[in-house]
Every structure is written in C-alpha cells, then in structure tokens.
Amino acid sequence: MSLFLRSCVAALFLFLFLIENSGAQGKMSLQQAIDLAMTNNPQVLTAQKEVEAARARILQAEAIPNLEFGINWDETSSNFNVTKAGERNIGLVQPLEFPGKRGARSRVAKIDVQFFEENLRRTRLLISAEVKRAYYQAWLSQKTVANFEAIADLLQQFRETATARYQAQKVTFLEVLRAKTELAKINNELIAARREAQNALAELNRLLGRAGSTPLALADDFSYQPFTKTVEMVVNEMRQLSVSRRLSETLVERGRAQMRLAQKSYLPDFAVGLFHQKRDGQPPFTADNPLGVTESGLWGIDIGVSIPLWFWKGPRGQAEEARAFIDLAQIQRESVDRNITTAIENAHRSVKAAEEQVRLFEETLLRDVEDELRSGVSHYQTDQIDALNLIDIYRTYTATQAEYYRALYNYHVALADLEVAGETALQP
C-alpha cells in the first residue's frame, strides 16, 4: 500500500511539472510565430502584392500619351510610286489631354494605393489574431495530452499494483479488471488528444506559410492577467484604431475622385503636330521650268481638338457609375460604423465572461480540488479509501486542471478576438 501511495504522489508531481513546463522546452514563441506569419502567410503576401500593383497603376495613370510619327505622300501616280509624289510630309504629333484629366486619373490611382495599404494593415491584424488562436489551441492541446499522460501513467502503476496484490491473493480479479478497463479508456482518450494536438500544430504551420508536418514546438506558457478596461474605454480606443473604418472612408474618397475624373471626360483633348514638307510645282514658273520648282524646306503646323460629340454615352455612363459608387461607399461606411461598435461591445462581453470563468477556477475550484486530493491521500494512508477511489479523486483533480486551462484558452482567444473586433465588418 505504501509503495502505491508513493507512486501516486510521484505521478502527481510529474503531472504538475509537465503542465507547468510543457512549453518551456519549445523553440517558437507566440511573437516569433506572428513575425513568421507576417513574412510567409499567403494572405499577407497577396495583400503586399496588391499594394505593389496599385503603386504601379499610379505610373500608368500619370503616363503621357505617346508621341506619334507620321509620313504621307500626296499627288501620287496611279501606280502609287511614292518617289514621284507631288507632296511629302514627315512630322511628329503629340496628343495632349485637357488640363486636369491626368491629375484626376492620378488621384484615383493614389487613393487606390491608400486603400490597399490599409487593407494590408487589416490583413496583418486578422492573420495575427488567427495565429494567436491557433497558437493557443496548440498550447491547450499539449496541456490536454500532458494531463492524459499523467493519468495513464498513474493507472499503469495501479494495474501493476493490483496485479501483484491479486497474485498474492489479497484482492479479487475484479480490481485488476477495473484497472485494465480504466487504463484502456484513458489510452483511447490519449490517442485522440495526441491527434488533436498534431492537427493544431498543422493548422498553426499552415498560417505560418509552412507545410503542416513541419516540426514545431511551443515556447510560451500563458497565465491569467486581469482585463480592467471598461466597454466605453475599449469602444473609444478601438474605433479610433479601426482599419475597417478607415477603409470605408477611403472608399468614399475614391468614389468622389472617380466622379471628378468622370466629369473631366466631357472635356476635349488636343493634338499638336509639326511637319517637314516637300512640294513640287512651286513658283517661280519659267520657260525652263514650266511646272515650277520643288520646295523642300517648308514646315507645317497641325493643331487638332477632339469633339466629345457623343457625351451622353461614354462620359455620362462614367459619371453615373461614379455616382452609384459614391452612394454604395457611403452606405458601407455607415454600416461599418454601426457594426464596429456592436462587434467591439460583443467582444468585450466575451472577454469579461471568460475572465469570470478563469477567476472562478483560480479563486475556488482549484483550491477545492487540491484540498480534496490531499484529503484523499490522507484517507488512503489510513485505509479509509481504496486505491481506485484515490484514482477517482486524482482524475477529478486533473480534469479540473484541464478545464482551468480550457478557461484560460477561452480567455486569451477572447482577448485576441477583441483586438480585431469590427475588422470583419467590411469586405473590400
């Protein structure tokens, strides 16, 4: 009996050590995981490329129309022999947009860059929150595995003790059978817990932009830190920091810039050309040259203006599209403004509810099960309870510890959700 008691106490200390130090031997902290995700996560990389593409569109929007080279021959013969053409013009034509068109187009492109830069910040926030959730899930899974391993080790010792006592004819075979059954049940739970832990690490690896099977160990452990901010403080702070709110405002600004650009489409464009000319049959006409002489030092200037004659088609359609886009952006901005406040308030309530659960464990439940375990050990020493009853008490203790860590997990996940509350209110 005393040997089994010492085994129980040793298993208890082993369990506590595993729970408290399961993350200490790891290699990747939560912050390192977030930093790696910011470098490798496909969604972050996609958002970065969208910014680069938007910046390239500024260059396109500010492009100046290409200079045009032209050459023509007039008064050619019926066989189109251009060497005998009466006139030849070689020149350059430069198309010119109406003043303000290029600037308006550039303004739209620059606002697009602002939009995608804000979207990149939003994507980083959302991915950071996802990494935190996945890291917390992996942490909880490892705590669960450590819990089941400690129970399995204790039950294994109990089975060996029961077998030895049965062989010594001190207990019935029923006690051996119960030990084997309990051990089989906990081993099934342990297999499932290990599978869930592997899946949690694979999900974390996916968010880090790595293969799911990449070896990964966690470095951080987590504890309870009180959350003291009121809902009013959180709402005021996070509304000012909300990226979704700035995105919705950027959409309205982009719509107005598109309207200014559409209004410019009603205005004409210009073209200025300079030509070098060669002409036959120019004066003076003499007896020796009755058909005149050839002049090759002539210059011509060409000025053209486009006439937006069909303005009720293209230009009008662009203006109506821009007006509809402004209305849509304003609706989205108002919706985002409402949804952000609601999302922050809901997330704050979730944090406080999770915090209450953690405090319940820390202030009462953990202390109660520890007292019960000490009492059970004392009763076992005096033969007031048998080994199986002591194991039941120990399982209650470890189950309470597991639920405490789940409560801690829920609390930290709620804090991560609060950090990005309202950022999903807008879908760009």
Distance CA 340, CA 333 (A): 10
Distance CA 112, CA 28 (A): 37
Amino acid at residue number 209: G
Q: What confidence category does residue 86 fall into, taking pLDDT thresholds of 50, 70 and 90?
A: confident
Contact 316, 224 (CB under 8 A): no
H or E element in which residue 274 lies: strand 270-282
Span 295-305, pLDDT tens digits: 788 888 999 99
Please compute the mean of the pLDDT values over residues 194-204 and round it to a whole number: 95
Residue-wise DSSP of 319-365: HHHHHHHHHHHHHHHHHHHHHHHHHHHHHHHHHHHHHHHHHHIIIII
**What pLDDT shows up at residue 133?**
97
Judged against a pLDDT cut of 50, whether residue 121 lies above it is answered with yes
Contact 244, 122 (CB under 8 A): yes
Q: Does domain 2-419 correspond to CATH entry 1.10.287.70?
A: no
Please compute the mean of the pLDDT values over residues 121-149 and round it to a whole number: 95
Span 394-416, pLDDT tens digits: 888 888 988 999 999 999 999 99
Please compute the mean of the pLDDT values over residues 128-154 and round it to a whole number: 93
Judged against a pLDDT cut of 90, whether residue 100 lies above it is answered with yes
Chain centre to alpha carbon of residue 410? 21
Residue-averaged pLDDT of the chain: 87
In sequence order, the 6+-apart residues with CB closer than 8 A to the CB of 220 are: 23, 26, 29, 30, 135, 139
Residue-wise DSSP of 205-238: HHHTTS-TTS---B------------HHHHHHHH
Q: What confidence category does residue 313 fall into, taking pLDDT thresholds of 50, 70 and 90?
A: confident
Distance CA 198, CA 218 (A): 12
Global confidence as pTM = 0.81
Please compute the mean of the pLDDT values over residues 217-223 and round it to a whole number: 93
**What pLDDT shows up at residue 6?**
53
